[in-house]
Amino acid sequence: MTEPFDAVDVIVAKREGRPLPTEQIEWLVDAFTRGAVADEQMSAWAMAVLLNGMERREIRDLTFAMIASGERMSFEGLGRPTVDKHSTGGVGDKITLPLAPLVAAFGIAVPQLSGRGLGHTGGTLDKLESIPGWRADVGSAEMRAQLADVGAVICAAGADLAPADKRLYALRDTTGTVESIPLIASSIMSKKIAEGTGALVLDVKFGSGAFMPDRERAETLARTMVELGADAGVECVALLTDMSVPLGLAVGNAVEVAESVEVLSGGGPADVRALTLALAGEMLALGGQPDADPAAALDDGRAMDVWRRMIRAQDGDPDAPLPEARETHVVTAERDGVLAEQDARAVGVAAWRLGAGRARQGECVQAGAGVLLHAKRGDAVRAGQPLATLRTDDEGRIPRALEALAGAHVIAPAGTGVPERPVVAGRITA
């Protein structure tokens, strides 16, 4: 087969900052998927995109080409509106767990395709797999049946959903091109659009524990993704949320499941509940129920009922005890004062080093590993008071976790004012 373009010409054009025509982008993605463009060539092209960016039209073309590389799901005839949510990831970000059953309690279908953690940010599937028996792999027919019956599915994406993105993401992760906004936006949105959801709420995080620490860049990413949704006919809303401190008090796998169950029981940390309700409100509005009261469904048990049915539908036991780590270590405050800072990235790296996360795709994680926080930013603390408990099955992991936490907790003199930072910092629509 004679190829209509040459990969080197496409790489050079982008290296020189020239926009690529639609047909070249479509060919590049297709040829890469077929193996006609080598990994080394696609890596060089990704680096050129990182350095020179892409126009909106190019990003749209790239997104649609990645969608076309695989199957496109459809939930037509389901009998319920479908609304999904995507988070760009953070530390202690367990929001999907209480959010999906909460929204489903109002008759809206939530087809939540999720991933696994890498580095300092946790993965939804890793967390749920700490529940005895629960499985992440759900076929298309089973997914549709569970949505019709229970209303919510949290599962792994199938191999045929935007396969070009899977291959490209693996290259980006090993070639230093992950931070490119065009590549991030097209990666996320190609999967979400191919998933077939009717509407989408995006939780785009900024701050030390976020994938994109700078707020301005996070806002640019959010706008780019909302625009891609509009181009594809998928109504999108994005919330900009603060990830400078961990969400909640639990960072890990089983510990985050336990905290999610607290939220579903009407309790839980205030910030986790607040963000869950904010995202639920957006999802319910997109699903045609702008006046619904998600707080009431947390407090009266409706969301918990859906959670239990959702876990059982995927062979999990919602009543089984969650795994506990064999070893613990307590970190205490060095002085009296006010906890002025609690660095999210440092806590996330500590949890990762304790075994809650992985350095490479495919590595196993410890279900019981993680960090339990005993104080939050703005709290008064006393010398010797526990600030965090480290949990792991391997005592030898604790020293490196403590290295990560060095300087993570900044204690200011008593009486120091610590300004409040709202969890939700902005909202973006098309």
Please give, one letter per residue, the 3-state secondary structure of the chain.
Answer: CCCCCCHHHHHHHHHCCCCCCHHHHHHHHHHHHHCCCCHHHHHHHHHHHHHHCCCHHHHHHHHHHHHHCCCCCCCCCCCCCEEEEEECCCCCCCCHHHHHHHHHCCCCEEEEEECCCECCECCHHHHHCCCCCCCCCCCHHHHHHHHHHCCEEEEECCCCCCHHHHHHHHHHHHHCCCCCHHHHHHHHHHHHHHHCCCEEEEEEEECCCCCCCCHHHHHHHHHHHHHHHHHHCCEEEEEEEECCCCCCCEEECHHHHHHHHHHHCCCCCHHHHHHHHHHHHHHHHHCCCCCCCHHHHHHCCHHHHHHHHHHHHCCCCCCCCCCCCCEEEEEECCCCEEEEEECHHHHHHHHHHHHHCCCCCCCCCCCCCEEEECCCCCCEECCCCEEEEEEECCHHHHHHHHHHHCCCEEEECCCCCCCCCCCEEEEEEC
Residue 61 included in any domain: no
Residue 363 included in any domain: yes
Does residue 299 carry a catalytic annotation?
no
* Whether 96 and 149 share a structural domain: yes
Catalytic residue among 14, 60, 85, 86: 86
* Whether 215 and 121 share a structural domain: yes
Catalytic residue among 43, 87, 130, 187: 187
* Whether 282 and 377 share a structural domain: no
- pLDDT band at residue 223 using 50, 70 and 90 as cut-offs: very high
Predicted pLDDT at 118: 66
Does residue 214 carry a catalytic annotation?
no
Number of domains into which the chain is organized: 3
Catalytic residue among 94, 144, 191, 302: 191
Does residue 260 carry a catalytic annotation?
no
* Whether 143 and 290 share a structural domain: yes
* Whether 308 and 334 share a structural domain: no
* Whether 129 and 244 share a structural domain: yes
* Whether 15 and 141 share a structural domain: no
* Whether 91 and 19 share a structural domain: no
Predicted pLDDT at 169: 86
Residue 66 included in any domain: no
Poorest-pLDDT segment among 124-138, 324-338, 350-364:
350-364
Catalytic residue among 172, 215, 353, 397: 172
Predicted pLDDT at 418: 93
Please report, rounded to a whole number, the percentage of residues in the chain having pLDDT higher than 70.
100
CATH number at residue 46: 1.20.970.10
CATH number at residue 349: 3.90.1170.30
State which residues form the domain around 208: 83-320
Q: Is the full-model pTM beyond 0.85?
A: yes
* Whether 360 and 312 share a structural domain: no
Residue 289 included in any domain: yes
- pLDDT band at residue 119 using 50, 70 and 90 as cut-offs: low
| Average pLDDT across the chain, whole number | 94
Residue of higher predicted confidence among 173 and 257: 257
* Whether 39 and 95 share a structural domain: no
Does residue 86 carry a catalytic annotation?
yes
Residue 70 included in any domain: no
Residue 427 included in any domain: no
* Whether 130 and 272 share a structural domain: yes
